[in-house]
Amino acid sequence: MIKIKQFQLKVILDKEDCRKLVKDLSEKYHLLLYNMKREYIKRMDLKMRDPEEWAVDSVLPSESQLLGGDLVYLPPGGVMYYKVPISADIIEIGVIGQDKDKKFEKFAIDIKESIMDALESPDDPWVPSKKLGKAFLDLLKKGKNIKPHQKDVDAANVLLNEQYRNLMKVIREKDSIFLDKLTQEVNMDNLEEIVKEFNKLDLVNSDFALICGKTGQQILRIPDENALVEISEKGFKCFICGASIADERLVRAISMSDFGNKIMENDYWFLAIVVDTLRHLDIAFEDIFVLQLDAPDMQVLLNNNNEAVLMQLTNKKLALEDAFLLSAYISAYKIDHLIVVSTGDVSQLMKSHLQDTNPKCSISFIEGLDNLKNEVMNIFINMEKKRLLSILDHLSEITPVPIEELVIKKVLPQEEKESDEDEYEDSGDVEDEIIDEMGDEDFLEDLENA
């Protein structure tokens, strides 16, 4: 998952403040948009009276919703940005991706220093642009952090198979059942091999019962077939009919283990799979909160980049009252994203009802568990894409270069008095030009991947 941090500072900035900010930052950072426009001048070998001023002014088209803004590439795959909206008296900054060297902290300090004269108070802090509501934060406190052991996850992965879950339910309903009786109740190929696999995972206990051939009564229980050989060699006989122990019938007996009961209780296997899936998306255990551990339907709560996410896990057909309850959660706790994970199909009526009654909440459905990890991952990727689009939306307005102006200046040089300098040169103490080092295509590809 991509880490996203967004902060804002209350301040009223004008065009001059924004021009100063660009020039100040360009001395310390490679501003992507600003430096790309300067690069046009350099590549076209233009001689201009004030290339710096042209690059600053051309960053902001007249129709832009921003007074200022730019991006800073953060190797190996991140981006920092700032933007000054026209419609709000703030400046917003953010970082997308990992910031191992903590460059974002310095970026925030440098921006504040540049606009210090415009601040009402120099002590005004940066505050998060997006916050979780108090109700959701209070709900998180009621949740518990669950950290399944690898043994739990291994067993849960086997139980993703619905036939195996049904087999476990049958075994759980019996205190103990002989394999031949189980074969009559469950129509499955290789049943004995499946039971052996369950036994290795500690989901079931498996031993052997010695049955009297005459009466069909159980004589004794032994842990394995080798124990029968030892008993036979000692000359023991059936205490019911007197026949040699070796002549009596040996039957595998199966019962639910304590671990098997734990995995099946309230569909804990389901929760273990989902939590493990979230961990593979780099969500820490301490950021995963589980509600209603003592009920089959569980809610998993997540703070995803300061957006409230509710995952509803259900191993039954959803009813209308379930939809009412979920809508109540969305409304009361200001849920941004709802993910319904069901072991079976969800009716179209249920989907439509939830989506129509909660238009501000992004709602996704996962029906069946055959491709659970990929489906969860795709949902979170789509969440991040929407968030990134909302961040970069207006910044895209200031990316075009007024190429017609540059061409006119090139072919009609009389339109611009030649500067005293012989040719355009970069100014300021800037980091190495990323475009020169990587090439335009490589740089833009890395930026897109970020």
pLDDT tens figures, 111-128: 999 999 999 888 899 999
Q: CB neighbours of 333 closer than 8 A, spacing ≥ 6?
A: 133, 135, 136, 139, 308, 310
Residues 105 and 70 in one domain: yes
Q: Of 179-188, 270-279, 386-395, where does the model show the most confidence?
A: 270-279
**Is residue 63 packed enough to be buried (19+ CB in 10 Å), middle (13-18) or exposed (0-12)?**
exposed
Residue 74 pLDDT exceeds 60: yes
Res 93: pLDDT: 97
CB 67 within 8 A of CB 60: yes
Q: Does residue 275 fall inside a structural domain?
A: yes
What is the number of structural domains in the chain? 3
Residues 107 and 198 in one domain: no
Distance from the first to the final alpha carbon of the chain: 11
Residues 432 and 288 in one domain: no
CB 404 within 8 A of CB 414: no
List of E strands, 97-248:
127-128, 177-178, 204-211, 218-222
Residues 305 and 416 in one domain: no
Res 382: pLDDT: 92
Q: Does residue 211 fall inside a structural domain?
A: yes
Q: Does residue 271 fall inside a structural domain?
A: yes
Q: Please report, for the domain that includes residue 381, its CATH number.
A: 3.40.1350
Q: What mean pLDDT is predicted for residues 223-252?
A: 67
Tell me what the pLDDT averaged over the chain comes to: 83
Residues 122 and 142 in one domain: no
pLDDT digit string (tens) for 388-409? 998 888 888 777 777 777 777 7
Q: CB neighbours of 290 closer than 8 A, spacing ≥ 6?
A: 143, 144, 145, 146, 271, 275, 298, 299, 300, 301
Domain boundary among 206, 228, 263: 263
Q: How far are the Cα atoms of 91, 97, 185, 419 from residue 401, in angstroms, in the given order?
A: 24, 27, 74, 22
Residues 270 and 375 in one domain: yes
**Structure pTM?**
0.78
* Structural domain of 200: 179-263
Res 445: pLDDT: 53
Q: Does residue 244 fall inside a structural domain?
A: yes
Any idea which of 111-120, 334-343, 406-415 has the lowest mean pLDDT?
A: 406-415
